[in-house]
Structure 1
Amino acid sequence: MSTIETSLLTTQVYDVLRSKIIGRKYLPGEKLDIQKIADELGVSRSPVKDAINQLVHDGLIEIIPRKGTYVTQLNFTDFIEILDSRLMIETWAAQRVTPSMTDDQVDKWGEIVHEMDSLLEVTPFPFELYSKLDMRFHKMLVEWAGNKKVLEIYSSLNIHVSLSRIVHSTSLESTIKRHQDHRTLFVAMQNRDLPTILGTLTLHITNLKDEAKLRWDEVML
């Protein structure tokens, strides 16, 4: 098999495994069987190993010596620190982009909010679809800041936030309450109201941290 073909296979396997982790087909803490994955995908072990090494670098998979390969499982402290990091980046981005936001950019933000609105009316609630829009909404703000390195860091944080939501999942009721923050952010951006944007971002992350603590306390009881 040529180097190019092997590289393409590795990329394909990487995409499949990453999608399964983010899509909760593989849960945090779950042990992965390399041979089983290779058999299921109809490939040799080599591209699976290479893909897993990439996912280890991404922080989505961890290899524990003499034990095996596992989907990364975040603890409570990790989750809180990631949320704090998100807040730092999002508030920095908001200060950078709010004065120069175009009407088209604001409208795109609004379109995402409207999509999220519609999902809240669906039964059963499509949590995964909503989460993707939620992350896209916040990530778009960071993209507009125009700093590729910061965006890379932020994107890696969002991967872990997606994983942590499997553990620290919240109810539809709390999701609806938090969604009001997105509406507030959209209206504030329409008015280029930076103080409201910064205050709402802080409140949004604070509420996520409080909900995570409640969930963690329930698990520990």
Structure 2
Amino acid sequence: MEYEKLDNSNLWDKTYHLLKESIIRRQFAPNHKISIPEISEKLGISRTPIRDALNRLEKDGLVVTISKIGTFVKGIDHQTALEITDSRMMLEYWSLRHALRDQESLLLEGISKLDMILQQAEANISQLSLDEYLKRDYNFAFHLELVQMGNNRTNTEIYTNLMNYRHILFNTHVVSFEMITQANKEHEGIVAALKKRDEADILQRIEDHLQASKAVLLEKIKHHGDMI
């Protein structure tokens, strides 16, 4: 893979974003071993910002380091998909339960933001190409707002890192307009239940929504040779 040499301004951030982009676009394949000396030579930089970038990418869940062996691109397989879904469900459940019981002002603010996200998504779904629509990241914005209603910064950070896998889905042609349309309908149902303060209905709708998403993801993983 060829890279343009990086200049020294904001070098560490540039290195991180360049490697992240290469990984999520699958220019580095799953399980690819990342060579720090090779990248250092191609970018014309020292190894230190590359090591820092890989540490950040490991926190993002995009690479994994095996002691004395190296750093590898993390693929999404069947087990990873199950774990991601379970973790998302736990974080969204906790956040909304907390908001319903103790954070009425945050709940009202969150519902208003969710309505706005849905309106923007609806307005643009027929106007934009799939790539341009996905760049707006409405699905992530919707689910992140659900977590932010819980008013817990650690949970929000965990959820943000957990959702990095979505970029890989975008760039491996897993997502379609049909999937987006169905997801948006399910989002509307979640918001309707939130407005009624119906905790059981809210949690059931979230579970149904994430389980449906998981089923599609597992099918796509199988179609791509059991890993994306």
Of residues 131, 155, 158, the one that matches 1:153 is: 158
Q: Distance in 2 between matches of 1:22 and 1:216?
A: 15
Q: Distance in 1 between matches of 2:93 and 2:65?
A: 34
Cα RMSD for the two superposed structures:
3.2
Q: CA deviation at 1:110?
A: 0.9
Aligned-pair identity (%): 26
User: Residues 45 and 179 of structure 1: is their aligned pair in 2 closer, same or farther, counting only changes over 3 Å?
Assistant: same
Does residue 1:128 correspond to 2:134, yes or no?
A: yes
How many residues of Structure 1 are paired with residues of Structure 2 in the alignment?
Answer: 215
Q: For residue 46 of structure 1, what is the aligned residue in structure 2?
A: 48
User: Residues 62 and 220 of structure 1: is their aligned pair in 2 closer, same or farther, counting only changes over 3 Å?
Assistant: closer
- 3-state DSSP class of the match of 2:64? strand
Q: For residue 84 of structure 2, what is the aligned residue in structure 1?
A: 82
Q: Distance in 2 between matches of 1:94 and 1:199?
A: 12
**Greater CA drift, 44-53 or 197-206:** 44-53
Q: For residue 197 of structure 2, what is the aligned residue in structure 1?
A: 192
**Greater CA drift, 86-95 or 165-174:** 165-174
Maintained 8 Å contact 1:168/1:215 = no
Q: Distance in 2 between matches of 1:79 and 1:30?
A: 19
Q: Distance in 2 between matches of 1:124 and 1:168?
A: 13
User: Residues 165 and 125 of structure 1: is their aligned pair in 2 closer, same or farther, counting only changes over 3 Å?
Assistant: closer
Q: CA deviation at 1:10?
A: 2.6
Summarize the alignment of residues 93-104 of structure 1 with structure 2, pairs less than 5 Å apart: 93-99=95-101, 100=104, 101-104=106-109
Q: Distance in 1 between matches of 2:215 and 2:119?
A: 26
| Partner AA of 1:181 in structure 2 | E
- 3-state DSSP class of the match of 2:130? coil
Runs of 4+ aligned structure 1 residues displaced above 6 Å come to none
User: Residues 79 and 34 of structure 1: is their aligned pair in 2 closer, same or farther, counting only changes over 3 Å?
Assistant: same
Residue by residue, what CA displacement relative to the aligned partner does 1:37-92 show, whole Å, maximum 9, x if unpaired?
Answer: 44665532321122213323433123467876432112111111110111111112
Q: For residue 3 of structure 2, what is the aligned residue in structure 1?
A: none
Q: Distance in 2 between matches of 1:142 and 1:104?
A: 13
**Greater CA drift, 24-33 or 137-146:** 24-33
Maintained 8 Å contact 1:23/1:128 = no
User: Residues 94 and 57 of structure 1: is their aligned pair in 2 closer, same or farther, counting only changes over 3 Å?
Assistant: closer
Tell me which protein shows more helix as a share of its residues: 1
- 3-state DSSP class of the match of 1:122? coil
TM score, norm. by length of structure 1: 0.78
TM score, norm. by length of structure 2: 0.76
Q: Distance in 2 between matches of 1:102 and 1:220?
A: 42
Q: Distance in 1 between matches of 2:70 and 2:205?
A: 43
- 3-state DSSP class of the match of 2:76? coil
Q: For residue 210 of structure 1, what is the aligned residue in structure 2?
A: 215
